[in-house]
Structure 1
Amino acid sequence: MSASRTVPRTEGDWFWLPSARPHAAIRLFCFPHAGGDATAFAALGRLLPQEIELWGIRMPARGGRTRDRYPESFGELVGAVSEAALPHLDRPYAVLGQSIGGLVGYEVARRLTAQLAPTACVVIGFAPPHTWREPPGSGGDAEVRELVDHMLGSDERAGAVITHPALREMVRQVLQADLGLARTYRDPAVALLDCPIKAVLGADDEAVTEGEMKEWARCSTADGGGVDVLPAGHLVLQSGEPAVRQVAGIVRDLLLPSLYQ
């Protein structure tokens, strides 16, 4: 794997490219965790091989989109991202999502399949909805505060946020809004994906079990997914460079062979 030195750029409102590679053979649409934004994938984008161009999803109401209206439902978010992605399906693509972003990515891929099916789907640290007892965040403000502590504790770069009351409150508000979307999730009753779904789990993740992650196999008609357990926390891509390198290797081994079939 080789790193790119290109300057990050945006593509419309919804996409951020940490390492633009206009001649890449495949695009990887990446969906951030609850409370996160596209920059969560900066390190991964630099570590992927040149054949893969990472497109991080820029969530509204944060980062460079603080003034943009937040979607009122999970379905509205999926529809907006899908519509924005349609003009960019001029080459093979795959999706990757971390935490709740795994579910968003999966549903966007299902929506886009009508025009072009994805090559693969990678879900990091989020259980499929058919395993839920209740939607994530249904426990109210107390559960949100607990999740803030848990997720910030999983992020090696979150030290300033943990100790700064105003920043911590901003994270709480965004996280609460993201979890609110999960409570509005409804299965759109479209076909399952017909591509491998690779599940990735941090060994120290207390939010989801390996057994739950294995259930992603039931969300696809294709073989070749399975579960990889890495030495990391819930936010695998924020658990340090070794974990990011392992995810980059998983993506490489999953996507590159498909280019030569």
Structure 2
Amino acid sequence: MSRAWTPAPGGAWVDAAPAGRQAALRLFCFPYAGGGAAVFRGWAERLPAAVDVRPMHPPGRGKRFHDALRYCLDQLADEATDALAPLLDRPYALFGHSMGASLAFEVAQRAQARGLPAPACLIVSGRAAPHLPARDKPIHALPDELFLDEVMRMNGTPPEVLEHPELVKLMLPVLRADFEAIESYRPEPRPPLNCRIVALGGSEEEGSAEATASWRGYSTCGFRGEMMPGDHFFLNGRPESLFALLNEELGRAL
């Protein structure tokens, strides 16, 4: 099914830096399905002062609530790369969780293909590499109740999001769009990335160790795989280990 869409201006995707801020490294953060920039609230206080944390704003949520949703991960990646291109005047890193990991990976691929500066590090969290087959059948076209049941079963979005009927009504179109984008994602094989890759998984999530290790061949500049305490949403539950690792890796990049 084709849908009309228009490109978003770069400023819609990423906020401007605070006045007078001259950080040494920018960290662009991509949220999971149904999530927005608020996922990364408080991150700046837990990372080195030299790191400029830039949460990404996908359409249809948060400050972009009235922007048209996207149903294709390639469209999202094209727009996000266009938005980031003017901001790559200093070292940067990419972080993405779940769907956001695939989106961050595609932005890194586009940066390489366009001859833009490569990230110092690509951190992919809670997501298998693109060559692994999907473990679950597509669910984005199911009736509402069945779709939400499957989202809960798959641990595809934080449970607290689905506990309030009024919030579910607002989030349902966003979740459907994001699940359609990731379920229709079929990237062609491409050369490995010329940046370090760090892959993270939740120790309590089935198949997470395999998913984390699956990224090993995607970089020519080093790989690190680590298991974090918790389930798929370890970044929300017990993030101490995550921030310890991020501080180490971003410090290395600095």
* Fold conserved between structures, TM > 0.5: yes
Residues 15 and 82 of structure 1: is their aligned pair in 2 closer, same or farther, counting only changes over 3 Å?
same
Letter in 2 for 1:147: V
Equivalent in the alignment of 1:103: 102
Equivalent AA in structure 2 for residue 254 of structure 1: E
5+ residue gaps, structure 2, are 1-9
| Residue 121 of structure 2: aligned partner | 120
Alignment match, 2:231? 233
Partner of 1:177: 177
Please report how far the alpha carbon of residue 79 of structure 1 lies from its aligned counterpart in structure 2 after TM superposition. Answer: 0.4
Structure 1: gaps of 5 or more residues: 1-10
Alignment partners' CA distance in 2, 1:236 and 1:205: 10
Identity between Structure 1 and Structure 2 (%):
30
Indicate the residue corresponding to 2:14 in structure 1: 15
Task: Answer with 20-29 or 103-112: which moved more.
Answer: 20-29
- Whole-angstrom CA distance in 2 between matches of 1:17 and 1:245: 28
1:40-189, aligned counterparts within 5 Å?
Answer: 40-113=39-112, 114-133=115-134, 137-138=138-139, 140-141=141-142, 142=146, 145-148=149-152, 151=155, 154=158, 158=160, 161-189=161-189
How high is the TM-score relative to the length of structure 1?
0.82
CA, structure 1 residues 258+163, in 2 after alignment: closer, same or farther (shift >3 Å)? closer
Distance 2:151 2:139 in 1: 12
Q: Secondary structure at the match of 1:94?
A: strand
2:194 is matched with: 194
Which of 226, 231, 247 is the equivalent residue of 1:252?
247
**What SS does structure 2 have at the residue aligned with 1:55?**
strand
- What residue identity is the alignment partner of 1:230? M
For 1:106, the aligned partner's letter is F
- Runs (4 or more) in structure 1 with deviation over 6 Å come to 17-21
Amino acid at match of 1:168: V
Supply the distance in 1 between the matched residues of 2:27 and 2:16 (Cα, whole angstroms).
10
Report deviation, 1:138. 4.9
